[in-house]
Chains A and B, each alone.
Chain A
Amino acid sequence: MNRSSGTREKLLLNPPLAAEVLTSFIRDAVETTGLSGVVVGVSGGVDSSLSAALAARALGPERVHGFLLPYRTSNPASEQDARAVAEHLGIPHRKIDISPMVDAYFEMEPDADPGRRGNKMARERMTILFDQAKKLDALVLGTSNKTEILLGYSTVFGDNASSLNPLGDLYKTQVWQLSRHLGLPDAVIDKAPSADLWPGQTDEGDLGVDYGTADEVLHLLFDEGLRPEEIVERGYDERAVTRIVTLEQRFRYKRRLMLIARLSGSAVNLDQEIPRD
């Protein structure tokens, strides 16, 4: 593909500065709320590994509580990777099998398709993380990156729910860049990204576009302000651009949760934007 030069370079970060800023973010959020640490679901994927690594730097590993939350069909290699990352970071970690809770529900809904089952798993994990956060006097650390947020590739109130998210303004390729800088295991960084909600699932298969292309197109749309046709003129595949633009538009509702019908002059989040320190 004959893409315009320089777009990939514009996605490069200064990794030490980015790591310093993001650890400061986590430390500030935990100190401001007066809580004692964070909980994070570690899947063995690169996003949750990076979030956990930044938190371990920010707070010290003992204040980062990792949770392995497999379902019975989850790839066993994911659990091994998750354990390896937790041990690499020296964070306390615990496994809670979500199969009994998820299966109990779907016994009443036997015809549910894989999408519904995947969403339920993602939300089951998040209810566990929020409960453990309450128990451990901690915040729930998010692991969603900017690419999946913009493309709506997440489960509402599942993996996209959290109290703070250090990765939400990092494109996927930047997650990889920062993960390498922080010395996460190659096996975790190099494997094909997958939500692991059903066997053989991959992100890029679901999205229909590779992350490198998605990040460059999203950068041109949102950071540079180009129109889709201008991006195609720069040599990007028209089908890929259309796919990305369509996903971004279709799933905007996932990024602006709690849409409140306004009746008064003091509607929360619309008339009353009370900031969070």
Chain B
Amino acid sequence: MAEGKTNAARIRIGLAQIDCRLGDVAGNVERHLRWISEARDRGVELLVFPELSLTGYRLLHLTSRVALPASAPELRRLAEAAGSMAVVAGFVEESDRGMLHNSAALLGGGGHDRPHLVHRKLYLPTYGLFQEERFFRPGRRLDLATLAWGKTGILVCEDLWHPELARRLAFAGSRLLIVPSAGPGRVGAGPLPANHERWETLTRATAMLNSCWILYCNRVGWEEGSFYAGSSHVVRPGGEVVDRAPVLDEHLLVADVDLREADRARWNMPLLADERQDIEGPE
């Protein structure tokens, strides 16, 4: 195989379903370090934090105050603490051009100097209670990171609702898709928060259509009277939910993921291989 590294097909993943202190980067860094330490004790090799985990989500006019470059010492500290574990954390990124992005960095995994991948959220929801386009600029690129177990892509929250992105990552060889999220909850008559049922429909369909694993990590806690609905979960390539974290409480969800399952799903039902690019119309 091209990378010669895909023999590490089984990895232990962790979803760090945490609460974050709004605007308190230093406090949130300490919080991340505690969870990294706990995850290491449980043998986790890839640990995912929620969207904007280092800053909190609903920053509004605090956004520029908490922005960091991808080379910031705060991120290097996480990478050093992570060691051989790979960690995905969310932050407000200030780019070289002075733009602010809602970004997720894939850090650690043996590399300390720069993140393996910084995904800048591509679709910034600006409707209902969401105001992201007022404070962030959208990303312009989709990338993959290649780690010991193979290729991995990140899509942040709203990005997943635009299905061509997950498709492109799967085509490019990603068998594992990481989805950090800050999804507010709504309570209806059902057993889970009403919008979480929609989320799970989406993650399951995405896993099934692209024959890939999905690691969905949502946060918990309250900001300005709105709660985040947790329910972080792991979906296998067939679309089955392997395990789900609770709705309201902080939780470290640990699961063993066999990436060969994605290969087998693609052999049994070759949706990606069969995909055609030559179909014309409608005009």
What residues make up the interface of A, taking CB atoms closer than 8 Å to B?
9-10, 12-14, 17-18, 20-21, 24-25, 28-29, 32, 164, 168, 271-277
Contact of B189 among A12, A20, A168 (CB under 8 A): A12
Q: Could you say which of A9, A21, A275 contacts B224, with CB atoms under 8 Å apart?
A: A275
| Contact status A274-B62, CB under 8 Å | yes
B60 touches A277 (CB 8 A): no
Known A21-B185, A276-B224; contact A14-B190, beta-carbon cutoff 8 A: yes
Query: Which of B56, B61, B248 is within 8 Å of A20, CB to CB?
Result: B248
Kindly state the interface size class of chain B when it binds its partner.
20 to 34
**B193 interfacial by beta-carbon distance below 8 Å:** yes
Is there an interface contact between B188 and A13, defined as CB atoms closer than 8 Å? yes
Is residue B12 contacting chain A, with contact meaning CB distance below 8 A?
no
Q: Out of A10, A17, A24, A168, which one reaches B222, CB within 8 Å? A: A24
Alpha-carbon separation in the docked complex, A18 to B247 (Å)? 12
**Looking across the interface, which residue of chain A has its beta carbon closest to that of B56?**
A277
Q: A20-B248, A25-B222 are in contact. Are A277 and B191 (CB under 8 A)?
A: no
B176 in the interface (beta carbon within 8 A): no
Contact of B247 among A17, A32, A273 (CB under 8 A): A17
Q: Which of B173-192 contact A (CB under 8 A)?
A: 185, 187-192
**If the complex has contacts A28-B222, A277-B21, are A21 and B248 also in contact, measured as CB distance less than 8 A?**
yes
User: Beyond A28-B222, A275-B224, is A14–B61 a contact (Cβ under 8 Å)?
Assistant: no
Chain B residues near A276: list those with CB within 8 A: 224
Chain B: CB-nearest residue to A28 = B222
Q: A21 to chain B: closest CB distance in Å?
A: 6
A-B contact pairs, 27 of them (CB 8 A): A12-B189, A13-B188, A14-B187, A17-B191, A17-B193, A17-B247, A20-B247, A21-B187, A21-B227, A21-B247, A24-B222, A24-B227, A28-B221, A28-B222, A29-B222, A32-B222, A271-B61, A272-B61, A273-B60, A274-B60, A274-B61, A275-B60, A275-B62, A275-B224, A276-B224, A277-B222, A277-B223
Interface contact A25-B227, CB-CB below 8 Å? yes
Chain B residues, Cβ within 8 Å of A18:
187
B98 within 8 A of A: no
* Least CB separation from B22: chain A residue: A277
Q: Which residue of A lies closest to B194 (CB)?
A: A14
CA–CA, A168 to B21, complex, Å?
24
Interface of B is mostly: loop
CA distance A271 to B134 in the complex (A): 12
Contact of A13 among B56, B187, B248 (CB under 8 A): B187
Which B residues form the contact surface with A (CB < 8 A)?
21-23, 56, 58-62, 185, 187-193, 221-225, 227, 247-248
Please determine whether A14 and B221 come into contact, CB atoms closer than 8 angstroms: no
**CB distance B248 to A14 under 8 Å?**
no
Chain A min CB distance to B18 (Å): 14
What residues of chain A lie closer than 8 Å to B59, measured between beta carbons? 275
Query: Which of chain B's residues has its CB closest to A17's CB?
Result: B187
Closest 7 CB pairs of A and B: A277-B22, A273-B60, A12-B189, A28-B222, A18-B187, A275-B58, A275-B60
Q: Contact at A14–B60, with CB atoms within 8 Å?
A: no
Instruction: For A25, give its contact among B22, B189, B225 (CB under 8 Å).
Output: B225
B129: shortest Cβ distance to chain A, in Å?
Answer: 12
Assembly CA distance A164 to B189 (angstroms):
24
Which residues of the partner chain A approach B222 to less than 8 Å between Cβ atoms? 24-25, 28-29, 32, 277
Q: In the assembled complex, which residues on chain A have CB atoms less than 8 Å from the CB atom of B22?
A: 275, 277
